[in-house]
């Protein structure tokens, strides 16, 4: 299920002799999901046939875990006064943590309290 892009994403694909850059803004949509093969992220720019673009990426869970760890180590570079970005990142990380914790308990569903918590975090 795709959702609107809340802000902006830029994708650059660099080859030795070519560079492709695509921007996905608020009129674009995205889909992100996790399954046993890893993390999938898709960005879709909508519009006329000549303006439509899509990017699909897949990350193995171990690689994505390394990416999350690297992000954690570089959080100090994010300006402390930029509370909105810090809160958005923290809330998304909490939602992922609670969902993974529910799965680790062997119940692929979150408790009613855990289910409500990510919804409040994303508001």
Render pLDDT for 60-87 as a digit per residue (tens, 0 to 9). Answer: 999 999 999 999 999 888 888 888 888 9
For position 123, what pLDDT does the model report? 46
Residues 89 and 81: their CA atoms lie apart, in Å, by: 14
Task: Give, in degrees to the nearest 5, the angle at Cα 112 between 110 and 5.
Answer: 65
By DSSP bridging, strand 53-59 and strand 38-45 are: antiparallel
- Any idea what DSSP says for residue 19? E
Render pLDDT for 31-56 as a digit per residue (tens, 0 to 9). Answer: 999 999 999 999 999 989 998 999 99
For position 11, what pLDDT does the model report? 96
Beta-bridge mates of residue 13 = 20
Round the CA-based radius of gyration of the chain to a whole number and report it. 17
Q: Are 101 and 109 in contact (CB under 8 A)?
A: no
Q: Which residue has the higher pLDDT, 109 or 64?
A: 64
Q: Are 100 and 116 in contact (CB under 8 A)?
A: no
């Amino acid at each position: 299920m795709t959702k609107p892009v809340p802000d902006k994403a830029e994708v650059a694909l660099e080859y030795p002799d070519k560079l492709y850059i695509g921007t996905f803004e608020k009129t674009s949509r995205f889909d992100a999901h996790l399954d046993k093969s890893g993390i999938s992220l898709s960005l879709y720019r909508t519009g006329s046939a000549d303006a439509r673009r899509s990017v699909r990426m897949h990350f193995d869970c171990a690689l994505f875990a390394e990416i999350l760890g690297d992000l954690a180590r570089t959080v100090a570079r994010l300006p402390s006064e930029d509370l909105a970005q810090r809160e958005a990142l923290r809330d998304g990380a909490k939602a992922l943590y609670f969902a993974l914790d529910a799965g680790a308990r062997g119940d692929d569903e979150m408790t009613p309290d855990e289910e409500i918590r990510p919804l409040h975090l994303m508001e």
